[in-house]
Structure 1
Amino acid sequence: MIEYLQKNAGEIITALGQHIYISVIAAVIAIAIAVPLAIVLIDHPKGGELVSQIAGVIQTIPSLAILGLLIPLVGIGTLPAIIALVLYAIMPIFQNSYSGLTNIDPILIEAADAFGVSKRFKLFRVQLPLALPMIISGIRIAVVLIIGTTTLAALIGGGGLGTYILVGIQTNDDHALVVGAVLSALLALLANAIIKILGRVSLKKIVIVIGTLLIMFGGYTITTKLLAQRTQTITIAGKMGGEPEILINMYKDLIEANNPNVNVELKPNFGGTSFLFKALNSGKVDIYPEFTGTVMQSLVQTSDKVSHNPQKSYQEAKRLLQKQFGLSYLKPMKYENNYALAVRSDDAKKYKLSTLSNLTKVSDQLTAAFDPDFYQQSDGYPGLKMTYGIEFLSVKTMEPALRYQALANRKIDVTDAYTTDPQLRQYNLTTLKDDHGFFPSYQGAPLMKTSFAKKNPQIVKSLNQLADKISTREMQEMNYQVSVKHRKAAVVANEYLIKHKLIEQ
């Protein structure tokens, strides 16, 4: 653990800074909305009740659903994360502020009125000081909630400590998982203690502290944007897992090696296919690696049967993406990362399983867990079920890295796999032959808007260097280095490019 911290100290500090930045901005905005709103509604009980109900309804919506709805509107990164966090934090701050302001002893309010003081004097010298303990309590609850929920920002490229939690889960790296979880918990405890101390100081000093934070973080944001304008910045995102992260790091190295005025911003572990495709079409992501089989089965509309010939499948995917969405699909890599179903090798022997047709005969005795994409896409479990008539004893969804552990630990009996997954080798698993030819060909290639490709021909040229490169064995070995040996995807990707003379050392 000490070695891990020493090796990744700089990146951990950066992630911690991102986490604090997002959390503070969200907390300050939530306070700036909820407390004044509670003040305005002091004498309007119906309005106060309505706002409480609306805030309560928002909190019942899953955070991932809110993030998904925000991506087409405001893009990816910190902005949608901050908006979602503000929505979640408003309820505890508003409810406590409203309760504190409306439950003050009426005798004290009557006394203030009897003295003939102004509304402003009564608010700042009587009501707010008396309600302050309740307001501070609501802020403490909201800040702890914000810090915990900020970990989800990593799913949409917002950064923060959630990145280490995702990496830990995806690559089965306990060190990364502990770093992300423990630092998030410590940050929440520290914030709770600071707010507790602020509760003992005057209202004027609290306002000064909040104002100072707004100025600091506002200045940081403006400076960052001004610096970013000096070079062209493009955003490359990848799905969850080690392999997409390797690919997007290759894209980054190739582009920056040949285009010195271009800065590439990576968004690894971005989420599933639908998240990425929406982000690409809305212009919030410029490039991401996609596979032909997923394009044909889930992204484009076609009445034709999907070809199992890799070249035909790619050409058709390219044509339909251009026609239906105005997207350019660059030349594919050599390897095919096809879907398969995997079982433990001893179960393969026990049930005499070598093909998916064999599995059909005993599927009602087995439990399965699938990646969320595979579970819902037509090229995954729904289509497989119809083609082979497979009926499992139970089926659930599970994140990629976790489902392999569950299979190895006999918590489930069957899972989906990619033919380049290193866990097949790590856990001694058997993949079943697709004897009915259900799964289409899956060749990966960069996907981007055609307008972007026309404006950036040099970037297209750089990425096309990967065309017909990387064999299945090479990809599986790189995945093994990242997911099992816990080496950084950026390092593994860079080593491959240098070894094959695609970039200079």
Structure 2
Amino acid sequence: MQQINHILQTQGGEIVQSIGQHIGLSLISLLIAALIAIPLAILLMPHQRAANVALQITSVLQTIPSLALLGILIPIVGIGTVPSIIALVIYAVMPIFQNTYSGLTTIDPDLEEAAEAFGLSRRKKLVRVELPLAMPMIISGIRIAMVMIIGTATLAALIGAGGLGTYILLGIETNNNALLIIGAVLSAALALLFGAAIDWLGKLSFKRAGIVLGVAVVLIGGVAGYRRIVQPQTTITIAGKLGGEPEILINMYKDLIEQDHPNIKVQTKPNFGATTFLFKALQSGSIDIYPEFTGTVLESLVKGQSSADHDPQVTYQRAAKALKSQYQMTYLKPMQYQNGYAIAVTPQFAKQYHLKKVSDLQRVATKVHAGFDPDFYQQSAGYPGLRKAYNFKFGTIKTMEPSIRYQAIAHKRINLVDGYTTDPELREYHLVVLKDDRHFFPPYQGAPLMTEKFATAHPEVQASLNKLAGKVTTSDMRQLNYLVTVKHEKAATVAREYLQQQGLLSKK
């Protein structure tokens, strides 16, 4: 509860903004889905076979995994709000269409005949008789769609659309239950709130319900239009992956660019998602810059480069050359720190056996009780390769999720873990990082990535970002991550204060 209160106090503005983004995404998607599904059901009322085909199509679309659907949409419509809304609409159409069609086609035939006997036209019979009688079923479909939309909208955070999913994903990524609870509870509260609003809407007459929906459309459209007119268009968009460290980096980029070039406006998109989403967004022009790691480039993004070299400079040169030839991208020089694999032990274990280097573990290998991430335990760049390079075999090894292994070593259930060199938990639990004295682990240095087209058009941006080349040590980044992830300080503030301390940013 203390963590939750601290986050609410320090990040209240950001949380309110995320709630607004979540509501906006949900309402727009629901309105569009309703405007598609309800008229379609009305149109297909007399055509049962065509209605069944439409229902089958919408059902099939709903079975597509949301992440796969977002991945399909990104190359077509880019990232952010648009693909998120399209995906949510696709998922919401089926329940609204199904309930509307069922409500309209299961009306008592006697009532239909009575309406015709009174001489009502097809349109008047629809408006005065059929739609009011079908309204409970339609409202039920809308309620189902809304709950589905609010739940699925959390994934919009993966492609930079924001919303409460940002806190859920960050909570999972950083093992921060407070963030996870905030995101989940607020999402559930929104579902209950909108469910109650839809129930209220169902009690209104058909005409009044239509007026309410019309006002909602006008308000949402007006707010969106106002923002476009009042808020200036940003010139440069810088995005970052999930987590505190990428957010720190993109704020460093922003501060340096805006200090050197006051005429340039920079928009940051933190917690944008995974590597693939960011890289596709950069290719499509939806974003202009994002920080990427040299080892990741060679192992995941470019072709024909199966692994990174152990020399950081060679790794960077290979990555930059491959990005330029294969994707016409410019990869600026990296910072000094590396966010690569690390082997860490408890301070008691290190002191007892005088451990400073990984090779020192040879003397006490049988006394090691390790906790490894499953991937690290299996892949050749992890424990199998490490064991061969250093010629040792640990006493006992347990595989566990990344966040759990740090808890396990903190409670002294194990005495050695794998991790990343800038993990804030290393600082939080005062763990001792052993030096990789045989240079087994490949280098992972962060550097700004952009398209050649953007780099050519903005040489001044390159000059600003190159001020970070060779700067920021591993211990510095670990401390910055600690302030953001553990102490919950704002990434923008942490980044700005660090740049000022290093003399890279003037104090205002």
TM-score normalized with structure 2 length? 0.86
Q: 415-424 or 324-333: which moved more?
A: 415-424
Pair 1:98 & 2:101 matched: yes
Change (3 A) 1:253 1:187: same
Aligned residues: 492
Distance in 2 between residues matched to 1:207 and 1:411, nearest whole Å: 62
Q: CA deviation at 1:410?
A: 9.2
Q: Is the 8 A contact 1:368 1:413 kept in 2?
A: no
Segments of structure 2 that go 5 or more residues without pairing to the other structure are none
Q: Is the 8 A contact 2:342 2:420 kept in 1?
A: yes
| Map of 2:379 onto structure 1 | 381
Distance in 1 between residues matched to 2:306 and 2:10, nearest whole Å: 52
Residue 88 of structure 1, aligned match among 87, 91, 99: 91
Q: Is the 8 A contact 1:171 1:482 kept in 2?
A: no
**Can you list the C-alpha shifts for 1:469-492, whole angstroms capped at 9, x where unaligned?**
101111111111112222121111
| Map of 2:478 onto structure 1 | 476
Q: Which structure 2 residues correspond to residues 106-505 of structure 1 after superposition, within 5 A?
A: 106-228=109-231, 230-302=232-304, 306-340=308-342, 354=358, 368-369=372-373, 381=379, 383-384=381-382, 387=385, 401=403, 404-405=406-407, 417-427=419-429, 437-505=439-507
Distance in 1 between residues matched to 2:304 and 2:6, nearest whole Å: 52
SS in 1 for 2:235: strand
Q: Which amino acid aligns with 1:241?
A: G
**Can you list the C-alpha shifts for 1:17-70, whole angstroms capped at 9, x where unaligned?**
111111110110011111111111112222222222222222222222222222
Q: CA deviation at 1:167?
A: 3.4
Residue 60 of structure 2, aligned match among 21, 41, 57: 57
Q: CA deviation at 1:261?
A: 2.4
Distance in 1 between residues matched to 2:25 and 2:418, nearest whole Å: 36
**Can you list the C-alpha shifts for 1:315-359, whole angstroms capped at 9, x where unaligned?**
221111111110001111111221246677899999x9956997x
Distance in 2 between residues matched to 1:411 and 1:488, nearest whole Å: 33
Residue 5 of structure 1, aligned match among 3, 8, 29: 8
Change (3 A) 1:413 1:499: closer
**Can you list the C-alpha shifts for 1:217-240, whole angstroms capped at 9, x where unaligned?**
112222322345x45432111112
Distance in 2 between residues matched to 1:366 and 1:9, nearest whole Å: 39
| Map of 2:82 onto structure 1 | 79
| Percent of matched pairs sharing the same residue | 55
Distance in 1 between residues matched to 2:49 and 2:27, nearest whole Å: 31
Q: Is the 8 A contact 1:334 1:469 kept in 2?
A: yes
SS in 1 for 2:287: coil
Distance in 2 between residues matched to 1:74 and 1:210, nearest whole Å: 27
Distance in 2 between residues matched to 1:403 and 1:209, nearest whole Å: 52
**Superposition RMSD in Å:** 3.3
**Can you list the C-alpha shifts for 1:392-414, whole angstroms capped at 9, x where unaligned?**
99978x6x656644775799998
Distance in 2 between residues matched to 1:426 and 1:124, nearest whole Å: 65
Q: Is the 8 A contact 1:156 1:267 kept in 2?
A: no
Q: Is the 8 A contact 2:343 2:358 kept in 1?
A: no
Residue 18 of structure 1, aligned match among 12, 21, 26: 21
SS in 2 for 1:445: strand
SS in 1 for 2:265: strand
SS in 2 for 1:262: coil
Segments of structure 1 that go 5 or more residues without pairing to the other structure are none
